[in-house]
Structure 1
Amino acid sequence: MSTQSEIDPDDGSHEEIIDELAELREQVDDPEAREQVNDLMEQVAELQRPGLGNAIVGFDRTDLAEATLGALIFGIPMFVEGGTAEAGEFIAARPLYLVGTIVATVAIVYGLVYVAEFQDVRVHEPLLGLVPRRLVGVLGVSALVALLGLTVWGRIDWSRPWLAVCSVAVATLPMSIGAALGDILPGS
């Protein structure tokens, strides 16, 4: 008779193990032991079920590069087409639409990464204990690429900063979709 029990990857036991380890981590006072529990949690999270993609944990430079590529693929049309400036002018005259655009961008990225389940994406060491690093990385790289691309290609004029910010927000929405897909679909 074996003293070890086998884990069936389809019975949800990975999540149960992670939950139990999280409870254990809260009870451990020694920083070194707590780090060992964190490492074990990562190892369990990275276990994959046959036929499915890897569990995606953390956000590193590879993820950042994938997100940047996805943002560029969706962003280059935004840089060369006049519709971005027109949409920027439209929301510049309606500040609530700018807020709506930003909220929609965050909601869409969150939905793609964490809700749509294209991949098994896990929140790991969130910023301030609340904000997922992957969400911040995808949105941040999208906004930065939009800002740089629109500025370098002369599509926005910073002598009119409000209009420039609104145009960057317009371009960031589709670029963040590309960044999210570029990051999670390779499955790293």
Structure 2
Amino acid sequence: MKSGENLGNEFIATSAYGLLNVILIARGNISVGVNAVGHILGIFFENESRYHYATGEYFLGKVYLQIAQGHRPGSFAVLFKNLGFLLKNVPFAGRKAENHFNKAIEAAEEIGAKGVLGQAKLDLALLHKLKGRTGQARKCISEAIEVFEQCEAEVFLKQAREILLSL
């Protein structure tokens, strides 16, 4: 946390700014929020804040997964506000989701963040299922189940087992 050590509150401010942008995405300002979160991930990576980096990568993977699954912003106004972003990203949403999930998995494995690791593997499995890659989906689900069993994450464990049965 180089910047946090030098400037004291910069680390907290960066985290707060990241959360603000998550809220922007949730409220429908997808383009601005995703771009800002991407910038913040660079800061977390540079400062070796691996947990925040893993969580942010997982979050962006989740956003792109929802786009790949066909989820669209609720109202016409929100759709219109994000039209450029969606037109540019819908064709590549699956690939972007996979890249973000893989980065989250790598970072989570490095630091032993089992919660992030299991969730990223679970959502990567959903992406593989969506793309018709059943073998890869089963592998990711099985790995997610193992992680969820280790940390006794019963809700996620139940969800993962149900998805495995649906393959």
TM-score, with structure 1 as normaliser: 0.28
Q: Whose helix proportion is higher, 1 or 2?
A: 2
Work out which structure has the larger RCO, using CA pairs closer than 8 Å and 6 or more positions apart in sequence.
1
